Amino acid sequence: MSSLIRWQPFEDLVSLRDAMDRLFEESFIRPRSWLMPFESGLAVDVYETDDNVVVEAALPGVKPEEVEVSLTGDVLTIKGETKAEKEEKEANYIRRERRYGAFCRSISLPGGLEGDKAEAEFEHGVLKLTIPKAESVKPKVIKVKTKK
């Protein structure tokens, strides 16, 4: 038994507007990691507690004195550089994935933080920043009273 399928020649064509939207989205809104290799290589976790915002960044192979951390307004910037120990001229690499060079990562944080009271710790290749919240943005508990 055979079935007929209606031929619709224009169904598979992409409109020029859709193609341009996709081009701009892939180029500027969500750029690929090969355009920004070191930003995607700096893994960062950001979470908040009742009193603080905590940022943890994985910085393997980086010495604490080679890391620069700054907080301007609500933007946290972490800069540094990883250096190769020594270049193996005679080595025949099968795969080489470790990256060397300067990196910089900027992260927007929630408002109402006290940047001048921030603390930074560096242990086992992990940078941990603890930034206290201002009293005005800390959650407040309101006790509910019953009316008699």
Is 53 domain-assigned? yes
Q: Which range marks the domain in which residue 113 is found?
A: 36-85+98-137
In a domain, 118, yes or no: yes
- CATH number at 58 reads 2.60.40.790
pLDDT of 15 over the 80 cut: no
Is 16 domain-assigned?
A: no
Pick the residue with more confidence: 109 or 18?
109
Q: Identify which of 35, 82, 36 has the alpha carbon closest to the alpha carbon of residue 57.
A: 82
Virtual torsion, Cα 101, 125, 90, 37, nearest 10 deg: -40
User: Whole-angstrom Cα distance, residue 76 to residue 74?
Assistant: 7
Q: Are strands 52-58 and 44-48 parallel, antiparallel or unpaired?
A: antiparallel
The answer to the question of residue 67 being in a domain is yes
Over the stretch 34-78, which tens digit does the pLDDT of each residue have?
Answer: 444 444 468 899 999 888 999 999 988 888 888 999 998 889 999
pLDDT tens per residue across span 69-106: 999 888 999 998 887 776 667 678 777 777 778 888 88
Instruction: Quote the mean pLDDT of the chain.
Output: 80
d(CA 54, CA 48): 6
Per the structure, the count of domains in the chain is 1
Residue 2 has pLDDT above 80, yes or no: no
The Cα–Cα gap between 137 and 119 comes to 19
Mean pLDDT of 129-137: 87
Q: Which helix (H) or strand (E) holds 17?
A: helix 16-24
Residue 50 C-beta-side C-alpha neighbours within 13 Å: 3
Q: 31 vs 124, which has greater pLDDT? A: 124
Q: Is residue 30 part of a domain?
A: no
